[in-house]
Structure 1
Amino acid sequence: MDSNFLWPMLAMFLGSLVVMFGFLKKINEWYYVGRLGEKKNSLPPGEMGWPLLGNMLSLIKAFRSSDPDSFIHCLVDRYGRTGVYKGHLFWSPSIVVCTPETCKHVLMDNEKFGRGNPESTKELLGKQTVSLSTEEHKRLRKLTTNPFRGDKALTMYVGYIEDIVIDMLDELGSINKPVVFLFEMRKLAFKVIGHIVFGTTSDHLLELMEKYYTDLLLGLRSPAINIPGFAFHGALKLLEEVLEERKKRSGIEQKKGQKGMIDLLLEAEDENGKKLEDVHIIDLLIINLLAGHESSAHASMWAVLYLNQHPEMLQKAKQEQEEIIKRRPSTQKGLTLEEIKQMDYLAKVIDETMRRSSLFIPIFREAKVDANIQGYTVPKGWQVLVWTRGVHMDPEVYTNPKEFDPSRWDNHTTKPGSYIPFGGGPWICPGADLTKLEIYIFLHYFLLNYKLELQNPECPVAYLPVPRPSDNCLAKVIRVG
């Protein structure tokens, strides 16, 4: 073929590709932004990405790299530190907020920003639970707070968690071969949840919960396609199976005199004698399953890893636990809630761990009405993503954010919206205190009697679906006490 003809043809082909891709990248903009009328002029900066996929490719690329926070940094570099950006994420037009001020604004304003989740999450958890009126929400919060929070409730759970932690560490310490430490932490979390929530440590139920959790997590993060073979379909079917199993087991265990959190929720009633509906109980149990499993398992693992990397901090944390034992009356057996409240340095270790290892699970909200954040319009019906990592790893909020430094919490006054591992405002996770209690108890016994010997100490970190060593922390648990 004549080269004089080939080059113009190639140029036309490449030009057509540029035009086609440019057209495709404008479809979301035309569809979601173009129809807003005058409101589009006051939207925050950002772009809507590709049809269907939106900005998910950029997000996944960042979290598959060694710098997951590059996703937010790119927005800041490109559009400035507005703290609020538009985009298309998790299958919906979205507003991302990532500064303490904007996060606080969204989390605290329940009148304008209700619970918002991807369509798959709404279907799995029940649409009724994510579209409650303000008054109904207040009633539910009042009913559901007591079983999860407060000294009375936490004191009841200390012994349960303690027994499970001691048995698990005894077993791991006697194996004398490497284990996948993260998986062991997950098993521990499931046993705690099984005992506290269901009033049982039934192996059958725990296995079902673990399978349920994996499928549920995939379903929550996937498109709501209810066809066999898709993650959402599997989660929906398994949810039905677990609910039936839950009801059977709850009745059996209660007859034996064992009560779980589920029984407290079933019994709870307001001043008018109105009880929680099943859909709300299920929603609350799932929230605590997700938060309890991810937060406690990963925070426990990361706390041990960070302390291993800083021997002086490890020694300080261990010494504090030894001092607590020394002050204990000889007649006392086991931890008390009062002793846990005396763990000042460990509290800073845990707070710093949860900041530094922030799980990538945005807090989903939805604009109930046209709202305003920092002078920008948030259209009604758009989802709002509270980007916790964006705050926790912001150098303007935390000096040298990539460093693990518990001392940053010395005499620290937390600015509203700057520390949000469990969310904030009226929808703050009700199981936050219980999750932290589990981490305290695990670290207490681990620091006193065990150490971790990593098999791959230079193992890189993987960030999807959550931050973890790429070998899931393959290590020996060695008894030292």
Structure 2
Amino acid sequence: MDLFYGSLLSFFVILVSLGLHFLFYKKNTTGLQPPGGKGWPFLGETHEFLSTGWNGQPEKFVFDRMARYSSNIFKTSLLGYNTAVFCGPAGNKFLFANEYKLVRMWVPDYVNKLFPSKSSAADEAIKMRKSFPMFLKPEALQRYISVMDDVTGKHFTTSWENQEVVAVYPLIKRFAFLIASKLFISVEDPNHIAKFAAPFADLVSGIFSIPIDFPGTQFHKAVKGANHIRNELIKIIKQRKIDLEDGKASPKQDILSHMLATNGDGEDAMTDSDIANKLIALLLGGHDTIASTCASIVRYLAELPDIYEGVYKEQMEVAKSKGPGELLNWEDIHKMKYSWSVASEVLRLSPPFQGTFREVLTDFTFSGFFFPKGWKIYWSTNGVHKNAEYFPEPLKFDPSRYEGAGPAPYTYVPFGGGARMCPGKEFSRLEILVFMHHIVKRFKWEKTIPDEKIIVDPMPVPAKGLPVRLYPHNT
């Protein structure tokens, strides 16, 4: 959820609706504001903020200003709002510790058009977190491993094997959506899942477009896509209610059943539409971020043969310990230490989201600077991830960074931190490791486009889908 909203907010182009969203603030007279500039009137620095990602260098916006102002905090204007950008571990620690006290998650008003709700997005996020614990406990996560392993194995058999060249990114998106559908709503029929493909593509595309709901616009297509998905999910929800009453479904079988079983009464009760909206957000966040990360892993392993060999050796030791048809389990995951260090380094260099927005709830002072109520704060992962002060030779791929105590606190934040730590962190870890296990035990590969551009909009995505030539192992 956090990843979905963080990605959604970080890179939304707001040009036409600035007049609706732009707020004017009185000049602060009680304290020193961070150094920085606001850019163009009304437009601010939004275009430069976005364009550095489109050019594959999302960190450039942050580091250019850190160098210019000699500060880990600077002010700017993004999405039509006065914004302070936090780029260092001290700022991360402060924000994570003061979630829901001095700051809280912020989303622009247009989100309500896509996901209409009687509560604010921040309040909805809190409710979502309260729904998750049961499904993120170690015993629940252990049950997911065999499901993930089974789905992943079938996906590779049907979509990768006997292929000379594949486009990695589209295949991984399909794989991640299969797992999310299976575990969140117990849907695994490929024909049923296919009904969601085009509407989800329209929704994702329109989320990052100008919010004009007029026929022919991307945003209009996104609204239609969201409505279509919502209606399909409501059908599933209604049938699930019947199945729960008849004892054909278990209250613990997936997140949907849990939402229905724990739904309140009266004013606190979620409508079918409310539940569908939450499922849309989960399905989006549960497959786009995984797809981006796994595609980045495939890209780095193609470019770094020594790293690939280390992962291959570890995963083959796990594979050889399994009997015919035996699925992966919790103990196997714990043996994949080097593989997770590799994945962690991928998450440092190519985080699926570049940062998220917060809103200042009350005036406060931090690091000698004053932040008025209503300002927005954007905290940047790249401000620490690619900073030589915290990671020597920051652009070098080095899995050994995660040995021992690992990175210093608040310098490695691909999943956020504090009260807003991504609740799906461990779920993501399992899915990523199961994917790595299957791909390396089956194939080596090479990129067919050596210098393929990586576009960050809002997540790192290969411009041409990352086509690779597969070389199956003989064993």
Q: Please give the alpha-carbon distance, in whole angstroms, between the structure 2 residues aligned to 1:352 and 1:152.
A: 27
| Amino acid of the structure 2 residue aligned with 1:107 | F
Q: Please give the alpha-carbon distance, in whole angstroms, between the structure 2 residues aligned to 1:33 and 1:257.
A: 53
Instruction: State the match for 1:317 in structure 2.
Output: 311
| Amino acid of the structure 2 residue aligned with 1:91 | G
| Amino acid of the structure 2 residue aligned with 1:416 | P
Segments of structure 2 that go 5 or more residues without pairing to the other structure are 1-17
C-alpha contact (below 8 Å) 2:302/2:447 kept by paired residues: no
SS at match of 2:161: helix
Q: What's the CA shift string for 1:178-229, capped at 9, x where partnerless?
A: 2211110011111111111111123354334333433333444345433334
If asked which structure has higher relative contact order (CA below 8 Å, sep 6+), I would say 2
Instruction: State the match for 2:76 in structure 1.
Output: 87
SS at match of 1:228: coil
Q: What's the CA shift string for 1:124-176, capped at 9, x where partnerless?
A: 345624343xxx976753332222x1222212222222122111211234343
SS at match of 1:54: coil
Q: Please give the alpha-carbon distance, in whole angstroms, between the structure 1 residues aligned to 2:63 and 2:345.
A: 21
C-alpha contact (below 8 Å) 2:169/2:465 kept by paired residues: yes
Instruction: State the match for 1:403 in structure 2.
Output: 396
Instruction: State the match for 2:26 in structure 1.
Output: 35
Q: Please give the alpha-carbon distance, in whole angstroms, between the structure 1 residues aligned to 2:133 and 2:198.
A: 28
Instruction: State the match for 2:131 in structure 1.
Output: 143
Q: What's the CA shift string for 1:11-49, capped at 9, x where partnerless?
A: xxxxxxxxxxxxxxxx99xx867623415x522111112
- Write out aligned runs for 1:195-234 (5 A): 195-234=182-221
- The total of aligned residue pairs comes to 446
Distance 1:281 1:402, change over 3 A: farther
Look at both structures and tell me which one has the larger radius of gyration over its CA atoms: 1
- Write out aligned runs for 1:272-351 (5 A): 281-282=275-276, 284-328=278-322, 330=323, 333-351=326-344
C-alpha contact (below 8 Å) 1:116/1:366 kept by paired residues: yes
Segments of structure 1 that go 5 or more residues without pairing to the other structure are 1-26
Distance 1:295 1:118, change over 3 A: same
| Amino acid of the structure 2 residue aligned with 1:145 | P
Q: What's the CA shift string for 1:224-273, capped at 9, x where partnerless?
A: 43333443343333323222211212444674648432122222369xxx
Distance 1:284 1:399, change over 3 A: farther
- Write out aligned runs for 1:139-288 (5 A): 141-147=129-135, 149-252=136-239, 255=243, 257=249, 259-268=253-262, 281-282=275-276, 284-288=278-282
- Root mean square deviation of aligned Cα: 3.0
Distance 1:139 1:56, change over 3 A: closer
Q: Please give the alpha-carbon distance, in whole angstroms, between the structure 2 residues aligned to 1:428 and 1:376.
A: 25
More displaced stretch, 71-80 vs 287-296: 287-296
C-alpha contact (below 8 Å) 1:197/1:262 kept by paired residues: yes
C-alpha contact (below 8 Å) 1:119/1:224 kept by paired residues: no
SS at match of 1:437: helix
Instruction: State the match for 1:106 in structure 2.
Output: 95
Deviation of residue 281 (structure 1)?
A: 4.2
Instruction: State the match for 2:9 in structure 1.
Output: none
Q: Please give the alpha-carbon distance, in whole angstroms, between the structure 1 residues aligned to 2:32 and 2:275.
A: 40
Instruction: State the match for 2:465 in structure 1.
Output: 472
SS at match of 1:179: strand
| Amino acid of the structure 2 residue aligned with 1:36 | K
| Amino acid of the structure 2 residue aligned with 1:312 | D
Distance 1:294 1:412, change over 3 A: farther
C-alpha contact (below 8 Å) 2:234/2:273 kept by paired residues: no
Q: Please give the alpha-carbon distance, in whole angstroms, between the structure 2 residues aligned to 1:375 and 1:76.
A: 16
Q: What's the CA shift string for 1:63-100, capped at 9, x where partnerless?
A: 2435332211110111112x222111133322211111
| Amino acid of the structure 2 residue aligned with 1:395 | A
SS at match of 2:104: strand
SS at match of 1:420: coil
Higher helix share: 1
Distance 1:397 1:209, change over 3 A: farther
Distance 1:181 1:141, change over 3 A: closer
More displaced stretch, 401-410 vs 221-230: 221-230
Q: Please give the alpha-carbon distance, in whole angstroms, between the structure 1 residues aligned to 2:233 and 2:370.
A: 44
Instruction: State the match for 1:458 in structure 2.
Output: 451
Distance 1:385 1:282, change over 3 A: farther
Distance 1:100 1:283, change over 3 A: farther
Q: Please give the alpha-carbon distance, in whole angstroms, between the structure 2 residues aligned to 1:218 and 1:90.
A: 18
